[in-house]
Each structure stands twice: as structure tokens, then as C-alpha cells.
Amino acid sequence: MPVTPFHLGPAVVLKAACPRAFSLGAFAVVQAAIDVETVGRVLAGVTPLHGPLHTLAGAVLVALAAVAPSRYGLTAAYAALARRLRGDGRGERWLRAELGPVSWTAAAVGALIGGVSHVLLDALIHADVWPLAPWRQGNALWVPGAFAWTHGACAALGVAGLLAWVGRGRGSRTPSA
């Protein structure tokens, strides 16, 4: 499934654990950018569905290209959203704190982890992902039948990470990236 939200599960755990050093937004930007290739291939009827962006080399290039746009674009988008959040609700205060500026470090870490994790997760469930191409053909990481348990684990991590992230935010006013 192109542009799956399941990849975000492990990232939410990282956001809860390292809020200032990891940009969930940059992670998501890279995840979506990599899957634009797959969507295009599906629409064009091209096989295999996963091409050069679904390699570690391709994913790192996408991540590096996304760092600056993610940092500046997300900082501007978060500032605009934070201005719209008015009120004294505790949840809104926490969300406004979370919508602080995105640092270079957080954007780079989020983008790189987003690219690498995308390829590794897809390699588990799609035989046509060749993570080490162009240096090595094939996919030694593919596990037949891994689709269900991989998505289940990602969903469980997402729920746990969200609970930890929101729980952490209730006791802190320190903005994250």
C-alpha cells in the first residue's frame, strides 16, 4: 500500500523519546516523497512497483534533499498553526509547545531515519524492494507473510508512542522540534 501511515508508528516512539532531536514532520515528508515513486509506477502500470527510491542509496538522497525544505517549511507551517490555536486548554498549550521551530539537527535526523526505515520496513514485506541496489540485486530482508505482523507491530508502536508523547507533554513545557 503506497503512502502507508503504518511507517509512522516507530517514529512516534522516537518523537516521544527524543522530542527535540527528531522531527516527526521531516520523517513524514520523506516517507511520502519516497512513495511518490510507487504511486507513479502504480498509475503507469510499471513493474516492479518499487524502484530506485526504495533503495538505501535512493532513500538517503531523498532525505538529504528534504532536510532544508522540511526545516523551513515545517517551521513556517507550525508557526501558522500555532497562531490559530488560541485558548487556555492544557492540550492546546502542549500542542503549541510542540509546534516550535524545527532545528537543523531534528530535520536531518527525522529525514534520514525516515528514509532508511522506509526502505527497511518495505524490504521486509515487498520482495521487489532491493535495499542494496545498485551494488547488490535481490532482497535478503524479505519475509513471506511479514505484511500482517509488520503492520501490527508498527500500529502498536504508534499507539504506545502517542501515549508516551502526549503523556510526556503534559508534564513539560519545553518545545520539541
With residue 21 as reference, give the H or E element that holds it.
none
Using DSSP, state whether 43 is helix, strand or coil.
helix
- pLDDT by residue, tens only, the chain of 177 residues: 466 789 999 999 999 999 889 999 999 999 999 999 999 999 999 999 999 999 999 999 999 999 999 999 999 998 888 777 765 555 566 676 677 899 999 999 999 999 999 999 999 999 999 999 999 999 999 999 999 999 999 999 999 999 998 887 666 555 556
Within 10 Å of residue 162's Cβ, how many Cβ atoms?
16
Residue with cell 519545553: 174
* Helix, strand, coil percentages, rounded to 5, for the chain: 70, 0, 30
How far is the C-alpha of 44 from the C-alpha of 32, rounded, in Å?
A: 18
How far is the C-alpha of 102 from the C-alpha of 7, rounded, in Å?
A: 21
How far is the C-alpha of 145 from the C-alpha of 160, rounded, in Å?
A: 24
Question: pTM above the 0.95 mark?
Answer: no
